[in-house]
Structure 1
Amino acid sequence: MNFHGIRAIYLFEMARTWRTLMQSIASPVISTCLYFVVFGSAIGARMGDIDGVSYGAFIIPGLIMMSLLMHSISNASFGIYMPKFSGTIYEVLSAPISYAEILIGYVGAAATKSTILGLIILATARLFVPFEIEHPFWMLAFLLLTSITFSLFGFIIGIWADGFEKLQIVPMMVVTPLAFLGGTFYSLDMLPPIWQTVTLFNPVVYLISGFRWSFYGVADVHVGVSIGMTLVFLGICLAMVAWIFKTGYRLRS
């Protein structure tokens, strides 16, 4: 294992975060704070409890997860796309470093940035809404697992994209609607039976449900199913990355 090569890629990607601190950290934190103000304080004060949890506290896991998904994808996709765009990807591919080590460097940095962002948003949420974390270990586990899984997904998008526009298509046109319809602002029990069944085909439901369980011990889906679905998606992403490196899809041309 070439730890020097992994470290070089990892530190380079992390350094880009500190150079763009306003865009990478401040902007998503401020955006999420607006959700807390509008939905948590203004609207939440007029709504009753959901599963014994105040509405303001109920939406915290969903908002953190939504931000985590978007920025895990964004960080990883932009990180691998820029070397392709500038042509420096060939230097990385010709370096004495394996594909697995390249993947660890890029995805590790993207997952680290997303995890830090999630923890900052979690700390910021306490300024607006009081809440408790019933299972802190599982909260961190879901945070890390989601960051790694969707950083892998973002890595795939970054390789697939052949323009800056395509980097935004999947996050904006697919992931954002799935997050809004995945129980971020409501419990599935509030939906008619037919829509509860339809919503179960949304993979984001399992992420938000499991993450919410780690906070309050309540979930729309059993926590074991949530972990299993996340691991399945992680396995699919790993298989796709392995195929990309094996075939050189959009890396060698």
Structure 2
Amino acid sequence: MPARTADWLVRAPGDIERIEARFSGAAFAPHRHDTYAIGVTLEGVQGFDYRGAARQSLPGQMVVLHPDELHDGRAGGGEGTFRYRTAYVSPAVIQDILGGCGLPFVAGGVCGDPRLSAAVWALLGDLERPLAGLELQDALYDLARALQAVAGGARPLGPHNRQAAARSRDYIEANLENSLSLEDLERVTGHDRWRLSRDFRAMFGASPYRYLILRRLDRARDMLLAGVSGAQAAHGCGFSDQSHFCRQFKKAFGLTPEAWLGAMRRAHDHSIPA
């Protein structure tokens, strides 16, 4: 799918992924993130299918997509354009702040609660500079607490081996090019592989395999932006071939690598309002 001239996407600097984007028509195919996608609609009507229903977010409303939930993206009514900002926040960060409680779930994916609005704008209000140190930590703390309040509280998660899940994550990130199995993770952590799979999902919002694929794709996006070809990125990030890479990319981000890269390359033509 060729990139459209009206579409663009800007990535803010910093340790957490924050974007502003403008898209038209049917923007994204159905896809999943292993993070929370939490943002605000700025212009137009942001439409999407989520948990079996069509949703719409108007300017000023928040969009909160739970980790690993299938969704798409389009202009309301299927025509026109929409502009939005989004932050992608690891569920492990939210859990750490909430003391190991279950992940807050915002029903319907659209919210106008002023508590959440204040927390989201603290994170997304200024995309021209990175948020770092205490500023970022304060913003994430306020966001987690606002999510918990809007979702109606969260029960304790129950007994999970958080240390084993974290060691598994670190091992996956250090071995992105390799073929991994639950047996490998069991050997590294000393934790039963099926319990480890459960604990990993509770901590990071995705299965170990999904986490591996998405970290490979994150590396591949950086390679594409650096001018590496799709075939080289696929080979360098552990995908079996370029076709497999393209399928996984679209499943994760809702765009083909070519369409995503085309939107990114035009980003310098667009300023981000303060």
Instruction: State if a TM-score over 0.5 links the two structures.
Output: no
TM norm structure 1: 0.24
* Structure ranking higher in strand proportion: 2
Whichever structure has more helix as a proportion of its residues is: 1
Greater RCO (Cα-Cα under 8 Å, separation 6 or more): 1
